[in-house]
Amino acid sequence: MLTRSITHEWQTAGYIPMDLELTLFLSRHARTPLQWDILAFFALNPHTRDTAAALAERLGRQTSAVARELEDMALLGILEKQADAFLAVYGLRREPGIMRLMERLRRHLETMGKPSRPGRSDLSAPSRM
């Protein structure tokens, strides 16, 4: 009965609880504030493709730290990396499962009125590339 009451209160307040699949995904891939910021950014900006330096600037983070996380997320198949001899550009992988999870994360963030983790500025930004 308590669960039903809490669920009803959340729904009437407009809160949509995260589903199990999204919770598991985030527990594996958003273990640090930087990982969270990157995933939240791409959830809110799914068509953005940019360099580590440009993404670091948008997130207010050091380029080297962002570059390491982007590379890891590309190896895990969350992001795509397009690189030549001089430049690497990262974007959300266009795989239906990843896109579906990012859409659910976007909806959750927008429903909560928290586009980023507490203390961060709005992560929505137009693409530079």
Q: What is the span of the domain harbouring residue 68? A: 17-111
* 52 falls within a domain: yes
**DSSP E strand boundaries for 34-114:** 49-50, 79-83, 88-92
Residue with tokens 């896109």: 99
Q: What is the pLDDT along the chain (129 residues), one digit of tens a residue?
A: 444 444 445 455 555 566 788 888 888 888 889 999 999 999 999 999 999 999 999 999 999 999 999 999 999 999 999 999 899 999 999 999 999 999 999 988 888 775 544 344 455 554 444
pTM of the model: 0.72
Is 46 within the bounds of a domain?
yes
Q: Determine, yes or no, domain membership for 81.
A: yes
Does a structural domain hold residue 5?
A: no
Count of structural domains within the chain: 1
**CATH number of the structural domain spanning residue 49:** 1.10.10.10
Backbone angles phi, psi at 92, to 5 degrees: -65, 135
The three-class DSSP label of residue 88 is strand
The single-letter DSSP state of residue 52 is: H
Q: In this structure, is residue 76 part of a structural domain?
A: yes
- 101, part of any domain: yes
The answer to whether position 51 is within a domain reads yes
Does the residue 121 lie in any domain?
no
Collapsing DSSP to helix, strand or coil, 28 comes out as helix
pLDDT digits (tens, 9 = 90+) for 16-53: 566 788 888 888 888 889 999 999 999 999 999 999 99
